Amino acid sequence: MSTAMVLILLGRVARNFARNVKDPPPGGKWRLIRTHIDAYLLSLLGSEILQGIGAIMNVKWVFEGGAHCSDYCSVQGALKTIGETGVGMNTMVSNRDEFPIVLCSSVGDSYCAMLILAIS
């Protein structure tokens, strides 16, 4: 189900991108990735798709009534591992970038800078 939702979301992004390239909104050229947050989101969605494909591949094991070592199993494991690693790394990087923004908006800038230096 989650893979279907990610694919629907990516489909909507692709549709909006194609529409805005064909007929740009006022103000100039439209780009898909405007900030680093956009890149993080697309990377996260790609990793989620890899995880979802690995999970969908479980259907074979259900129909066979068990799992056994084969190339299929290796590919499934690789997809799940790459997807999980990508999601984890993406979460870590986006939190690293967003934490100071959230913290600095609630406390003063000098206190925020000292706290971030102390944490790192």
pLDDT single digits (tens) 3-14? 899 999 999 999
**First-to-final CA distance of the chain:** 39
Angle value at C-alpha 105, between 102 and 109, nearest 5 degrees: 115
Distance of alpha carbon 84 from the chain centroid:
10
What does R_g of the chain's alpha carbons equal in angstroms? 20
For the chain, helix (H) and strand (E) counts, in that order, are: 5, 0
Per the prediction, the chain carries an average pLDDT of 84
Tell me how far apart the alpha carbons of residues 112 and 109 are, in angstroms, rounded to a whole number: 5
**Arithmetic mean of pLDDT, 86-112:** 76
Say whether pLDDT at 115 is over 80.
no
Which residue is associated with the tokens 């129909």?
Answer: 63
Three-state SS for 63-98 is: HHCCCCCCHHHHHHHHHHHHHHHHHHHHHHHHHHHH
Element (H, E) at 24: none
